[in-house]
Structure 1
Amino acid sequence: MIAADLGTGRPLVLVHGFSVDHRLLRALEPVLEPTGWRRIYIDLPWTEGGLNRDLTSSQAVADALVEALQDHLGEEPFAILGNSFGGMLARHVAHEMGEQVLGLATLAAVFVADSSERRLPAKRVLHDDPAVLEEAGEAREDFEEVSVIRTPAMLEAFLTHSYPGIRTADKRVMAAISKSYALDAVPEQAHGDPFDKPALHVFGRQDHVAGFEDGLAWQEHYVRGTFAVLDGAGHNAHLEQPTLVGALLTDWLHRMGDSQSDRR
């Protein structure tokens, strides 16, 4: 399940979303590498390097992730970042592992498991270029489905960071997990006390997959949370708005450092 463990310093765990692999979040390396945090990238069960392809529910994946982190980190404090489905898992980990967690960040996270119950904006493409879609080749359908900004640079980012995981994903494993996609309990409800560590929740204003309104509903729970809805961003917000996402992540990492200084 540990796909890569890079650098030294305090650990930052990164959990990707459904149908992709850890390479989607490796796009954040130019921002994260200079910060001095150790980056631990997770591969979930449908990936080529994922642990235990026999897991058949989101709760089983969440439990396996907690166990893997306990084995890999012991009692060492860490921060966690999750994207999409990985955002749902990261929220579970952050609440379940309590005081060991330094902070939580999500990017285009799933806050409502049942897609029919999500409050979603209409699908909208802000920049379209038929030539870019033609250039996408076999990746066209997947790129067209998720992209809000269809430029050569965005296609390159998609082909580099997203499509390799999509192309190699084990559809059998994903189908099994999809049948039991919801966690046993909403993390914020299962652990009723407010989450008082530095938090960051980034949403795409044009994200028609996970939306943003359901996440914003938890602002009172995250008492040290920054909530940002980015225009010109869909479900791959960190690819479409890398400068803004990078600035927000840098601020979040700094806030965790400030919190640790306050406790000494």
Structure 2
Amino acid sequence: MSTARPELHVLRQGHGDPVVLLHGFPLDHRMWSDVAAVLPGDAPILAPDLPGLGTGPVPGAEPSVDVAADAVADLLDATGARRAVVVGLSMGGYVALALAERRPDLVAGLGLVDTKSTADTREARENRWRIADEVAQAQTVDAVLGMPQNLLGTSSRQTRPELVARITAWIGDQSPDGIAWSQRAMAGRPDRTHVLVGFGGPVCVVVGAEDTVTPRTDAEHMVGASRAARLVQVEGAGHLSAVENPAPVAAVLAQLAAQALA
């Protein structure tokens, strides 16, 4: 059992098996609030804060996406859920794939939003390690406060200053140690394309049309590996499509849930 159980936030009470929404880096469960507000259906919506972010404690364990996946599994076991639709954006997608590999009994359907199944390049890993060291030593999150410029699409950055401010405020709420742990966890993750090859449930891959962090090519790679994945492109959105244009993301996740939990 993991000692890093995340904090659970219930975004909607409901009936039956839950939809579990896993947030991106360097954010927390709040990034899913707009999707949850318009997600059709009556399934419970659970949005944990992953280890080290939001209210999630920083694990004592070696940084690993697997630790985060085991923490989510512990949470679902504690609620009595036997299966769930698991949706992850960016880092949340890495955790979702790890969960599908480690506890396939829990994952009825996979939603992969603005993420990828491949490992980091050497350059990306080294950049994560550098940032982790910087925030841990400085004990501030200044090194990641500028991330909205990359996370948000051009349309959002140019026309929605309030959204830029909102994302920046969420990042500012995070702990330096949690940021460092998460960066190191992501840097060490393996390629999990094989999980999609073997996964038997429905899969939906969502990508913002303006996503330059994990662009459409990464989404197409995952769709190509899956048995029957659906690819949905969200217009007017970058890497945070669930925040930038939540309605179409909610609609496709509702379809995924209906299919997976039928």
Query: What TM-score, normalized to structure 1?
Result: 0.76
1:158 is displaced (CA, Å) by 4.7
Q: Partner amino acid for 1:80?
A: V
Distance 1:219 1:31 in 2: 26
2:223 is the alignment partner of 1:216: no
Give the aligned CA root-mean-square deviation in angstroms. Answer: 2.8
SS in structure 2 at match of 1:229: strand
Greater alpha carbon shift after TM alignment, 84-93 vs 39-48: 39-48
SS in structure 2 at match of 1:79: strand
1:154 is displaced (CA, Å) by 3.6
Distance 2:156 2:225 in 1: 36
In structure 2, the CA distance between the partners of 1:188 and 1:111, relative to structure 1 (3 Å rule), is closer
Distance 2:236 2:123 in 1: 24
Q: Name the structure 2 match of 1:57.
A: 64
2:149 is the alignment partner of 1:144: yes
Greater alpha carbon shift after TM alignment, 64-73 vs 205-214: 64-73
In structure 2, the CA distance between the partners of 1:164 and 1:113, relative to structure 1 (3 Å rule), is farther
The correspondence for 1:171, drawn from 144, 162, 176, is: 176
Distance 1:242 1:153 in 2: 17
Q: Name the structure 1 match of 2:139.
A: none
Distance 2:58 2:181 in 1: 13
In structure 2, the CA distance between the partners of 1:141 and 1:4, relative to structure 1 (3 Å rule), is same
Deviations 1:4-44 (A, max 9, x none): 12302221111101110100011212222x41010111102
1:85 is displaced (CA, Å) by 0.4
> How many positions carry a matched residue from both structures?
234
- Structure 2: give runs of 5+ residues left out of the alignment: 1-5, 125-143
Q: Quote the sequence identity (%).
A: 23
Matches within 5 A, 1:182-193: 182=187, 185-189=190-194, 191=195
Q: Name the structure 2 match of 1:204.
A: 208
In structure 2, the CA distance between the partners of 1:253 and 1:96, relative to structure 1 (3 Å rule), is same
Contact 1:47 1:165 in 2 (8 A): no
Distance 2:162 2:27 in 1: 16
Distance 1:188 1:13 in 2: 21
